[in-house]
Structure 1
Amino acid sequence: MQVPISKQLRQFRKLSVGLKDAYSGSDARSRVQQFDGWTGRASSGDADTTDYDHADTVKEYYDLCTEVMVFGWGESLHFAPLSPHESLEQSKLRHQRLMISKLELQEGMEVIDIGCGIGGPMRQVVREAAVKVVGVNSSEYQLEKAKSLNAAAGLDHMVEFLACSFMDMGAVADGTFDRGYAIESTCHAPDKQGAFAEIFRVLKPGALLWGQEMCMTDEFDPDDDRHQALKEELRHGIALNDIATMDEVDRALEAVGFEVLEAKDHAVAEDGPTTPWYQPMSSQRNTLGNALRRTPLGRRTLFGVTKVAEVVGVFPKGAADVIRLMDRTANAYVAGGKTGIFSPLYCFLARKPF
């Protein structure tokens, strides 16, 4: 089914407005260039770069890229195990409902959303479980967007926000929350064990934590140059300080006191046919509108259109550079998925002991 031209134009207009709001007249092109150099600054031993802060790099990544991510992927900025009979949106909803079920949420509970993004999963959690949520995020832009979307959905009275890094939630008292979840957020931690220790601190005894991590799989061979190159491309394109193995995630959880109740790579099928998690970024098996936003040809077309739109002032200067960055990242995702060395779907359920 093709998307009407009028709907496509509305989507482009919404992207244009969103990018202008996100960049607020700043030089996005130079900001992308600065972001592209983060790996060098992080590894440099020069005196001028010893104060490198990875949290700032992650914040800049999302401030730059959120609107393009939403344009291509929707309000829930995470991967999900895909079914041949579902749309991407339906698969993400099914995955969120799995999380809600595993957390055993009950009405009135206090829940922390660690690295809440613009709140796509949060809104589903509030709708289906009638719990109160506190969203933690260091990106002020994402927080303001989440607040606006929550208000539009009539859910703002159920949600509060904390503008800080999840590495240091000092404003939150020990043992505050009944439940917690971290969807593709703690993978950004400069110190995974430190992140889990801070989450452990703010949860009540007996509380459950659901996490979704980006990991290297057992197929990753550190002695394989191609594997290492792909890992570095992923690390750069997603602003990850490192990419842990699944065993390393489990060990970090256990080291701070969590009991890991279950953990699995949801990218690996147990029964029945599945669609590779990276398929929307690699295949033409999309509606016309989605193909224009997600596939390699669509991304290249969007880059070209955006370059022209920058000249006439429809898109802010530097928007095309952000789209090119996202295209490079999408290619890295697909390569990592096709080789089997990377998965964004390592999900765990852990408990803080009583």
Structure 2
Amino acid sequence: MDRSRDPIPETINGSMGLRQLAGRLRAAYRGTDVTGRVAHFDAWTDRAFAPDTGETAYDHAKTVRDYYDLCGEFMVFGWGNSLHFAPLSSEESLEESQIRHQRLMIDKLELREGMTVVDVGCGIGGPMRRVVREGGVRVVGVNNSDLQLDKARSLNAEAGLDHMVDYFAGSFMDMSPIADHTFDRGYAIESTCHAPDKAGAFAEICRILKPGALFWGQEMCLTDKFDPDDDRHRAIEQELMHGIALNEIATMGEVNLALEEAGFQVIEGMDRAVAQNSGVPWYRPMETRRGKLGDIPYRIPLGRKALIGASRLAELVRTLPVGTADVIRLMDRTAMAYVAGGSTGIFTPLYCFLARKPL
């Protein structure tokens, strides 16, 4: 794997101003009723858990797609092109920590040049591009958001990697057009946490992997500190489920059981945020500007509030689409839930496992 020269980290938040963001938001929202879309998303839990809802009345995959289509550009604006959490260090920026975490995954997967790898829930392809560059492998990205796939295609072409990537537009719950035993390796970074049926998702991934293939996953989980009888814990859990479009939040043990039920052998699994023990919590960028992690003011509470106010004014003069501030308010609420879940120790987005499909 060639790491002799590392391209500039894929972050646009250092250079993308509000004017550029406005253009991207107009393209993403395409003249739709953004305020109405946010209100519809806000009510998803009512629809999903209504006692009289029929089995086919609620589509969680659509809720997840709505979430990313509404919030995706802001995620990139504030977080960079790798839309995932990583174990942090006070000596690194967020982007540098993400790169280190992606390289850990590459090493664990034992990638070899010429392999074909499936990226389950590829987003806009930040990790994918590192996997292709440093692993020398071909990647197929699976995603049910056309907006994210279009952006992944554009960024891959810009990076000169489009010849190494193919795409599957659809849900990872049903990848039936892909034949059994297709891929040498697979990974899923903060994607299968959205699955309405985790064992079902893992079973479908297992099906398309070759016998003996390794599978890396990063899941959002409840920790052993979560007390279902604690009202505060339950409230944080509900806020996280609502804001991130999670049908449920599994424990780490439940993730392992789902993997085994799907046919995988679990090689290792750990909360990487705890395992690193760097003293820097994974939610630090959303809480304070201290250290290298505080280079983006819009990530922290005061910055998010200021962005909401600025967006309201920009909506009045039609610089930003009407409803933009509602999206930021939704994301601010979710960020507060992340910090609450992390600071109480009841939630982690960094349960990372390595599993193998048996020979």
- Which residue does 1:275 correspond to in 2? 280
- Which residue does 1:4 correspond to in 2? none
Q: In structure 2, what is the Cα distance between the partners aligned to 1:260 and 1:347?
A: 11
Native 8 Å contact 2:94 2:293 kept in 1: no
- Which residue does 1:3 correspond to in 2? none
- Which residue does 1:332 correspond to in 2? 337
**Equivalent residue runs for 1:28-177 within 5 Å:** 28-46=34-52, 51-177=57-183
Which of 211, 232, 235 pairs up with 1:205?
A: 211
Native 8 Å contact 1:80 1:95 kept in 2: yes
Q: In structure 2, what is the Cα distance between the partners aligned to 1:187 and 1:164?
A: 16
Q: In structure 2, what is the Cα distance between the partners aligned to 1:49 and 1:169?
A: 21
Native 8 Å contact 1:220 1:341 kept in 2: yes
- Which residue does 1:195 correspond to in 2? 201
Native 8 Å contact 1:110 1:177 kept in 2: yes
Q: Which amino acid counterpart does residue 40 of structure 1 have in structure 2?
A: D
- Which residue does 2:221 correspond to in 1? 215
Residues 92-122 of structure 1 show CA distances to partners (whole Å, capped at 9, x for unaligned) of 0000000000000001100000000000000
Q: Which amino acid counterpart does residue 212 of structure 1 have in structure 2?
A: Q
Q: More displaced, 194-203 or 313-322?
A: 313-322
Distance verdict in 2 for CA 1:275–1:26, change over 3 Å: same
Native 8 Å contact 2:47 2:53 kept in 1: no
Q: In structure 2, what is the Cα distance between the partners aligned to 1:123 and 1:288?
A: 23
Native 8 Å contact 1:292 1:301 kept in 2: no
Moved over 4 A (4+): 7-10, 47-50, 286-289
Unaligned runs of 5+ in 1: 1-6
Native 8 Å contact 1:42 1:49 kept in 2: no
Q: Which amino acid counterpart does residue 275 of structure 1 have in structure 2?
A: V
Q: In structure 2, what is the Cα distance between the partners aligned to 1:11 and 1:153?
A: 22
Distance verdict in 2 for CA 1:351–1:269, change over 3 Å: closer
Q: Which amino acid counterpart does residue 339 of structure 1 have in structure 2?
A: T
**Equivalent residue runs for 1:3-18 within 5 Å:** 10-18=16-24
Give identity over the alignment, percent.
Answer: 66
Native 8 Å contact 1:41 1:49 kept in 2: no
Native 8 Å contact 2:173 2:204 kept in 1: yes
Q: In structure 2, what is the Cα distance between the partners aligned to 1:290 and 1:298?
A: 12
Residues 105-154 of structure 1 show CA distances to partners (whole Å, capped at 9, x for unaligned) of 00110000000000000001011011000000000000001000101111
- Which residue does 2:308 correspond to in 1? 303
- TM-score with structure 1 setting the length: 0.95
Q: Which amino acid counterpart does residue 302 of structure 2 have in structure 1?
A: L
Q: Which amino acid counterpart does residue 94 of structure 1 have in structure 2?
A: R
| Offset, 1:51 | 1.2
Residues 245-271 of structure 1 show CA distances to partners (whole Å, capped at 9, x for unaligned) of 000000000111100001100110455
Q: Which amino acid counterpart does residue 249 of structure 1 have in structure 2?
A: V
Residues 290-325 of structure 1 show CA distances to partners (whole Å, capped at 9, x for unaligned) of 342200000001111111111111111111110111
Q: Which amino acid counterpart does residue 358 of structure 2 have in structure 1?
A: P
1:290 aligns with 2:290: no
| Offset, 1:287 | 6.7
- Which residue does 1:314 correspond to in 2? 319
| Offset, 1:12 | 1.2
Native 8 Å contact 1:238 1:329 kept in 2: yes
Q: In structure 1, what is the Cα distance between the partners aligned to 2:90 and 2:139?
A: 32
Distance verdict in 2 for CA 1:101–1:40, change over 3 Å: same
- Which residue does 1:258 correspond to in 2? 264
| Offset, 1:45 | 3.1
- TM-score with structure 2 setting the length: 0.94
Q: Which amino acid counterpart does residue 292 of structure 1 have in structure 2?
A: P
| Offset, 1:289 | 8.0
Native 8 Å contact 2:143 2:169 kept in 1: yes
Q: In structure 1, what is the Cα distance between the partners aligned to 2:15 and 2:185?
A: 41
| Offset, 1:166 | 0.2
- Which residue does 2:238 correspond to in 1? 232
- Which residue does 1:323 correspond to in 2? 328
**Secondary structure, counterpart of 1:108 in structure 2:** coil
Q: Which amino acid counterpart does residue 28 of structure 1 have in structure 2?
A: V
Q: Which amino acid counterpart does residue 105 of structure 1 have in structure 2?
A: L
* Count of paired positions: 347
Q: In structure 2, what is the Cα distance between the partners aligned to 1:194 and 1:135?
A: 19
- Which residue does 1:244 correspond to in 2? 250
- Which residue does 2:353 correspond to in 1? 348
Distance verdict in 2 for CA 1:286–1:297, change over 3 Å: farther
Q: In structure 1, what is the Cα distance between the partners aligned to 2:40 and 2:353?
A: 34
Native 8 Å contact 1:292 1:302 kept in 2: no
- Which residue does 1:184 correspond to in 2? 190
Q: What root-mean-square deviation, in Å, do the aligned CA atoms of Structure 1 and Structure 2 show? A: 1.6
